[in-house]
């Protein structure tokens, strides 16, 4: 296995990444997209053999196994424990007889098939991931049963928490998982994962996966992605919080990861109940902080402005690090700038656009926390897009190995989506430009992609202090196995090298 080679050879993922990039033929082949040239269609001549590896070239030793394997512990707390039912979305819609919505929109929650069709019609053409609560339990159960009749449907361990917990454990960490899972799903957890919370019947999340270019009536997907519906009650109310909190003092982790809070989005809470649960979560985060634990919060698809505002009050100020994708970054940026949510954004954002929004989010959040006298200084941002990874870390913070973490996140993106630990360059392409501007501001410098050193890092000075920025292209998988869980695996892989 690839990770066995990493462990025995002692080489980090950066050398591996450079090796894979170097198998791609040059010069770049360019096509016109939106008025500028974009590298596409690179196919390398051979399959990357993880057992051979690139050979030593003086790279960083130890990598992930020094981070977690030498007695380190990562504490993973989350609220997304469930069973995922992953189905070919287009085949499922045809079988269910669900026609494209005539009025694309985003209802607060899904009451019936019409709401499902309208909501999916809104996100599907943009290739934007979304997750929505379905109020009608009977309808949801019928749809799940129907999905099992579609060829290729898979049942998997699901939820942000277990997925990231397994990834961290796979990388050598000892993990405490706050989730309520059945005995059946617990069998799918890594042996280094300990679970708090009593066993119960698993909630099911129905994941409609669709490919790039997939067609549903008049709509065509801009990129491969998924639409998730659920009738989840336990995770929405953070039912494992109390059990987990009670284990805090004895576990004393290096890292606390918060995720799965999108379950609360548009859930029918009683007035004030959601904020009270988030405040209790915030209290647990503060306990971890006092123990010297780093805290990471992984965002997700949020459509309700009130939910986001409550997260900004109770959770975000208590996080050292935030992770998000190319849809979630503009959503957070819009909320901070204008007090509004942005449900759909560019599926293929430019590097300069993402970096500018990262800088502004980093600055706005730290200014807000300092002004209001709350929380702690945000010291890390990780944005994972289809085309590239970008990580920003404050200088002098506890986060280390930013370059290696960015490379590992990029490789994990390919491995997860392709469903293989080996990277087959015949099933990968680069869609990132051969050079990129570091900002949208006039006269901003451009950085050329160097195949012998594909991760580019530099330092910047800002009003909020100095920080390092690293950017790496992604070897985009062209033979998609699964997009769901991609962000969780990518973020966890990046975190594990930085603690």
* Domains by residue range for the chain, with CATH: 64-80+159-197+236-496 (3.40.1190.20)
Rg, Å, the chain Cα set: 21
Give the per-residue pLDDT at 53. 41
Q: What is the rounded CA–CA span in Å between residue 377 and residue 475? A: 33
Give the per-residue pLDDT at 470. 98
Asked if residues 409 and 490 have their Cβ atoms less than 8 Å apart, the reply is yes
The two three-digit tokens of residue 70, written as one number: 């030498």
pLDDT band at 319 (very low <50, low <70, confident <90, very high): very high
* Helix 402-418 / helix 486-496 crossing angle, nearest 10 deg: 150
β-bridge pairing 130-133 and 215-216: unpaired
pLDDT at 100 over 60: yes
pLDDT band at 64 (very low <50, low <70, confident <90, very high): very low
Q: What is the mean pLDDT of residues 307-318?
A: 95
pLDDT band at 495 (very low <50, low <70, confident <90, very high): very high
pLDDT at 315 over 90: yes
pLDDT band at 281 (very low <50, low <70, confident <90, very high): very high
Asked if residues 226 and 214 have their Cβ atoms less than 8 Å apart, the reply is no
Percent helix, strand, coil in the chain, to 5, is: 35, 20, 40
* 3-state secondary structure (DSSP) of residue 482: coil
Where would I find the H helices in 291-350? Answer: 305-314, 328-338
pLDDT digits (tens, 9 = 90+) for 65-82: 234 543 455 555 555 578
Number of helical (H) and strand (E) elements in the chain, helices listed first: 16, 23
pLDDT digits (tens, 9 = 90+) for 374-396: 767 899 999 999 999 999 999 99
Which of 60-69, 173-182, 191-200, 283-292 has maximum average pLDDT?
A: 283-292
368 burial via Cβ count (<10 Å: 0-12, 13-18, 19+): middle
∠ CA(444), CA(33), CA(90), 5° rounding?
125
Q: What is the rounded CA–CA span in Å between residue 260 and residue 267? A: 13
pTM of the model: 0.84
Nearest by Cα to 424 from 477, 473, 384, 472 = 477
Give the per-residue pLDDT at 80. 56
Asked if residues 54 and 175 have their Cβ atoms less than 8 Å apart, the reply is no
Give the per-residue pLDDT at 160. 80
Least confident of 163-172, 194-203, 322-331: 194-203
Edge-to-edge strands, sheet with 294-298: 193-196, 175-178, 75-77, 255-258, 294-298, 321-325, 380-384, 388-394, 465-473, 456-462
Q: Which residues, 6 or more positions from 272, have their beta carbon under 8 angstroms from its beta carbon?
A: none
Output DSSP code: residue 106. Answer: -
Asked if residues 206 and 229 have their Cβ atoms less than 8 Å apart, the reply is yes
pLDDT at 57 over 50: no
pLDDT at 114 over 80: yes
The two three-digit tokens of residue 496, written as one number: 């594990």
pLDDT digits (tens, 9 = 90+) for 219-266: 999 999 999 999 988 888 888 788 777 777 777 788 989 988 998 998
């Amino acid at each position: 296995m690839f990770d066995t080679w990493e462990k025995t050879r002692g080489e980090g993922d950066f050398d591996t990444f450079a090796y894979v990039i170097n198998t791609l033929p040059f010069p770049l082949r360019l096509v016109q997209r939106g008025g500028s040239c974009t590298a596409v269609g690179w196919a390398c001549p051979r399959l990357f053999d993880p057992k051979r590896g690139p050979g030593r070239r003086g790279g960083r030793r130890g990598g992930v196994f020094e981070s977690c394997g030498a007695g380190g512990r990562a504490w993973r707390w989350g609220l997304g424990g469930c069973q995922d039912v992953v189905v070919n979305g287009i085949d499922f819609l045809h079988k269910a007889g669900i026609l494209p919505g005539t009025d694309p929109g985003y209802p607060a929650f899904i009451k019936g098939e019409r709401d499902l069709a309208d909501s999916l019609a809104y996100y599907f053409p943009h290739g934007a991931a979304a997750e929505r609560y379905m109020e009608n339990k009977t309808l949801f159960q019928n749809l799940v049963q129907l999905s099992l009749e579609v060829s290729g449907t898979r049942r998997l361990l699901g939820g942000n928490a277990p997925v990231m917990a397994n990834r961290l454990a796979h990388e050598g960490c000892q993990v405490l998982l706050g989730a309520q899972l059945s005995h059946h799903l617990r069998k799918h957890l890594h042996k280094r994962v300990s679970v708090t919370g009593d066993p119960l019947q698993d909630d099911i999340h129905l994941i409609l996966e669709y490919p790039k270019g997939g067609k549903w009536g008049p709509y065509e997907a801009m990129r491969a992605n998924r639409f998730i519906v659920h009738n989840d009650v336990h995770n929405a109310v953070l039912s494992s919080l109390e059990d987990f909190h009670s284990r805090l003092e004895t576990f004393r982790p290096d890292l606390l990861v918060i995720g799965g809070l999108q379950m609360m989005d548009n859930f029918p809470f009683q007035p004030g109940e959601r904020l009270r649960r988030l405040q209790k979560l915030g209290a647990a985060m503060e306990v971890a902080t006092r123990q010297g634990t780093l805290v990471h919060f992984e965002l997700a698809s949020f459509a309700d402005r009130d939910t986001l505002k409550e997260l900004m009050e109770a959770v975000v100020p208590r996080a050292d690090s935030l992770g998000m994708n190319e849809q979630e970054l503009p959503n957070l940026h819009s909320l901070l700038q204008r007090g509004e949510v942005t449900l759909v954004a560019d599926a293929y954002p430019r590097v300069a656009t993402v970096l500018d929004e990262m800088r502004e989010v980093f600055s706005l959040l730290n200014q807000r926390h300092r002004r209001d006298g709350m929380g702690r200084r945000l010291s890390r941002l990780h944005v994972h897009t289809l085309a590239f990874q970008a990580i920003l870390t404050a200088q002098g913070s506890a986060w280390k190995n930013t370059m290696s973490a960015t490379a590992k996140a990029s490789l994990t993106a390919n491995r997860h989506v392709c469903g293989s630990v080996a990277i087959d360059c015949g099933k990968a392409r680069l869609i990132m430009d051969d050079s990129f501007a570091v900002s949208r501001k006039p006269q901003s410098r451009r950085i050329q992609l160097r195949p012998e050193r594909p991760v580019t890092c530099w330092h910047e000075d800002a009003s909020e202090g100095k920080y390092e920025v690293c950017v790496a292209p992604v070897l985009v998988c062209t033979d998609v196995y699964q997009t769901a869980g991609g962000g969780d695996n990518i973020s966890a892989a990046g975190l594990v090298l930085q603690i």
